[in-house]
């Protein structure tokens, strides 16, 4: 039996997960969970990277001997090292306001169309490229490391840039698979800070002596560069039997898209807000960011903070939402009003009033509004991806935490008119570990092993498809 440690870092927590592979059997066990609490200091919102590092070490110590370690996380954020390899400052959170107006100023000098032709990325104001243009420490930096690469460096002393995360920076040429050094120079970003690119499955060294001593692991334990953007790891673990699938990596954000052999760089694609991000084995994850369960999560926090004893358990609330009348109110989940944290039920009501709708009446109706709106946003994105890429879709794979939400899964099947296969829930950690296993020759076909070891749930379309079509017409096009 082989054992792999998948360090999976999310926006609110980090985990160390042990994935055990014994022939066709794969088990996934959460060994340690630790909080990821951003810290605001002197007006800037930071990640507490040292707490994340310590949480990772605690989890590795609890995991015991493993055959390899891999790290995945969210995208776009980074740390800067000086010439002696020391971190210049805590990484800044992508929700910090320092990039306000930066993108607009930059695209005045370098047009969005030209930028898209190189990077293939959706315009998002927190992309790494815009953060760097607002970075006061850049002129003191020798190396830029994305979050998983930074933690890997602290484990092994080896510096590099794993390509799936590098492709989210806005400094990666999606056409050539190399850093866009000319673009970086034009923007005043020294291309020398960009380290050597590493494909998933590459060795990233073995543990430093002090790390081995603290964790109790052998110093010979290898660290492997996995598909370090968590969505790339999740898509790697999609148990599809066909190339004609759409995926929804559903969590705080929903990443909705298809897998392609080459990027789509048309002007229509840019205007529709699609990104071309690198996946495992050089595939292109052609996707669009959709606001995910964030709106529901913030609604629950609002209700819990105001009246905790009256907050029903989520399953009961979802059951009540299922019985609520359909399509009474709909929102565009991607409206900027829903991006910052805060009182989402009030924002939903304000959106409805602004768009001439009656606001949802009560919590169950609010939850139904959110989930119906998400399902319709998924439909809109999949339809756009098919239209722009020319690739047909036969099935939708919904992975991540949203796969536990049966009502969302069923609504997605109903809205798209396609079967939805839900699971694995732990897709990112599973993809992380199976890339490690493939690098060691333990696994040959990742998706085949996931199909044989997991038991996903299938949701078939039901109900009135025309009603969903009419409801979808109430959402703005992208």
pLDDT of res. 475: 85
73-102 average pLDDT score: 94
pLDDT of res. 309: 45
**pLDDT, greater one: 96 or 246:** 246
> Looking at the chain, how many residues does it have?
478
**pLDDT, greater one: 104 or 86:** 86
Cα distance between residue 282 and residue 279, in whole Å: 6
130-149 average pLDDT score: 96
Q: DSSP class of residue 229?
A: B
Homologous superfamily of the 2-228 domain (CATH): ATPase, nucleotide binding domain (3.30.420.40)
Residue 84, classified by CB atoms within 10 Å of its CB into exposed (0-12), middle (13-18) or buried (19+), is exposed
Cα distance between residue 28 and residue 430, in whole Å: 7
Contact 358, 352 (CB under 8 A): yes
pLDDT-derived band at 308, boundaries 50, 70, 90: very low
What are the backbone angles phi and psi of residue 230, rounded to the nearest 5°? Answer: -55, -35
The CATH code of the domain at 229-478 is 3.30.420.40
18-44 average pLDDT score: 95
For 24-28, 202-206, 370-374, which range has the lowest pLDDT when averaged over its residues?
Answer: 24-28
pLDDT-derived band at 170, boundaries 50, 70, 90: very high
pLDDT of res. 124: 83
pLDDT-derived band at 305, boundaries 50, 70, 90: low
- Known catalytic residues are 230
In the numeric block, the tokens 């148990």 are attached to 239
> Token pair for residue 133?
């243009």
Per-residue pLDDT tens over the stretch 327-369: 999 999 999 999 888 999 999 999 999 999 999 999 999 999 9
Q: Give residue limits of the domains in the chain.
A: 2-228, 229-478
Hey, how many other C-beta atoms are within 10 angstroms of the C-beta on 476?
10
The percent of residues above 90 in pLDDT, for the chain, comes to 87
pLDDT of res. 311: 52
pLDDT of res. 99: 87
Kindly give the pairing relationship between strand 284-291 and strand 253-260: antiparallel
pLDDT of res. 307: 46
Q: Which residues contact 34 (CB under 8 A, 6 or more apart)?
A: 13, 14, 15, 51, 52, 55, 58, 59
Cα distance between residue 474 and residue 45, in whole Å: 36
Could you tell me which residues are beta bridge partners of residue 18? 5, 29
Say if residue 107's pLDDT is above 80. Answer: no
Question: Does pTM top 0.75 for this prediction?
Answer: yes
**pLDDT, greater one: 217 or 188:** 217
Say if residue 111's pLDDT is above 90. Answer: no
Average pLDDT, the chain: 95
Contact 257, 385 (CB under 8 A): yes
377-390 average pLDDT score: 98
Q: Which residues contact 72 (CB under 8 A, 6 or more apart)?
A: 6, 7, 8, 9, 148, 226, 227, 228, 229, 230, 232, 233, 428, 429, 431, 432
Per-residue pLDDT tens over the stretch 220-278: 999 999 999 999 999 999 999 999 999 999 988 899 999 999 999 999 999 999 999 99
């Amino acid at each position: 039996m082989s054992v792999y440690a998948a360090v999976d870092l999310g926006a609110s927590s980090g985990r160390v997960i042990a994935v055990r592979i014994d022939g066709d059997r794969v088990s996934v066990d959460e060994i340690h969970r630790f909080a990821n609490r951003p810290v605001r200091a002197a007006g800037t919102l930071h990640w507490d990277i040292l707490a994340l590092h310590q949480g990772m070490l605690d989890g590795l110590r609890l995991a015991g001997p493993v055959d390899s370690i891999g790290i995945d996380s969210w995208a776009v954020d980074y740390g800067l090292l000086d010439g002696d390899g020391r971190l210049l400052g805590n990484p800044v959170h992508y929700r910090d306001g320092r990039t306000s107006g930066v993108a607009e100023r930059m695209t005045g000098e370098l047009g969005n169309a030209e930028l898209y032709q190189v990077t293939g990325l959706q315009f998002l104001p927190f992309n790494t490229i815009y953060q760097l243009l607002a970075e006061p420490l850049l002129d003191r930096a020798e190396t830029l490391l994305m979050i998983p690469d930074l933690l890997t460096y602290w484990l092994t002393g080896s510096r590099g840039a794993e390509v799936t995360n590098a492709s989210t920076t806005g400094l990666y040429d999606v056409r050539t698979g190399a850093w866009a050094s000319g673009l970086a120079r034009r923007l005043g970003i020294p291309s020398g800070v960009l380290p050597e690119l590493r494909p998933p499955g590459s060795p990233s060294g073995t543990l430093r002596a002090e790390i081995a001593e603290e964790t109790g692991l052998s110093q010979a334990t290898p660290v492997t560069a996995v598909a370090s953007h968590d969505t790339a790891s999740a898509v790697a673990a999609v148990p599809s039997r066909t190339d004609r699938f759409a995926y929804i990596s559903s969590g705080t954000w929903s990443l909705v898209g298809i897998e392609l052999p080459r990027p789509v760089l048309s002007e229509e694609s840019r205007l529709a807000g699609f990104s071309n991000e690198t996946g495992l084995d050089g595939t292109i994850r052609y996707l669009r960011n959709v606001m995910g369960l964030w709106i529901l999560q913030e609604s629950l926090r609002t209700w819990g903070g105001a009246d905790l004893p009256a907050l029903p358990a989520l399953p009961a609330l979802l059951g009540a939402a299922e019985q609520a009348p359909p399509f009474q109110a709909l929102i565009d989940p991607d409206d900027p009003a829903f991006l910052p944290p805060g009182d989402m039920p009030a924002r939903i009501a304000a959106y409805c009033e602004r768009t001439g709708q009656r606001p949802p009446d009560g919590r169950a109706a609010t939850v139904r509004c959110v989930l119906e709106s998400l399902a319709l946003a998924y439909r809109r994105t999949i339809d756009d991806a098919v239209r722009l890429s020319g690739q047909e879709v036969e099935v939708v794979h919904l992975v991540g935490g949203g796969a536990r939400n049966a009502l969302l899964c069923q609504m997605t099947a109903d809205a798209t008119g396609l079967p939805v296969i839900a699971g694995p829930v732990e897709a990112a950690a599973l993809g992380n570990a199976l890339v490690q296993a493939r690098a060691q020759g333990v696994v040959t076909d990742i998706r085949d092993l996931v199909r044989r070891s997991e038991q996903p749930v299938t949701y078939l379309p039901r109900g009135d498809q025309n009603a969903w079509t009419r409801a979808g017409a109430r959402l703005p096009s992208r």
